[in-house]
Amino acid sequence: MKKVLLLGFLICMTWSSPTLACTVNGKDWAGAVNGVLEAFKNGKYQDVKEIIKENIRVENGQEFQKLVSDLEEYEPDGFDKCRIFMREERPPIVEKLIFQFMGTDGNGIFVYLLVVDGGREFKSGIQILRVSTDIEDILKIWSNS
């Protein structure tokens, strides 16, 4: 009985703590992912481009700028809650993650990331980043990647 209660407590701690639930560690790409997550949490959406440009090519600058403008209008001060919504590791090098962000006013977004661990010979980092207020949009991307 004590083990069940302890497990329940640990699960509750993970889901109720934004800091624990929205940090990734132990991977070569963790710094880039954590930087993106911090930018979303703090409403510094323009910083996302600076963080990911080293990892993925931002092909359409106007499209990204529209995303930033939309986010600044939708939740200008960032989001106060964040958690890992879904995570799947595809050994040896690929991992997919969906993060859920919620603001104090109830507004929320889902952020999909496809990350690659390049090891010693290739670059590690974020390969795909998608943002939506609709989980169905993100789940379509998830199932197609």
pLDDT tens profile 52-63 = 876 655 555 678
φ, ψ of residue 102 to 5 degrees: the values are -130, 140
The Cα-based distances of 130 to 92, 97, 99, 111 in angstroms read 23, 11, 11, 6
Q: Domain containing 69 — which CATH number?
A: 3.10.450
Q: Is the pTM of this model over 0.85?
A: no
Q: Into how many domains does the chain fold? A: 1
Token output for 106: 């109830």
pLDDT tens by residue, 69-109: 999 999 999 999 999 999 999 988 899 999 999 998 889 99
Range of the domain at 97: 2-144
Two structure tokens written together for 90: 């595809």
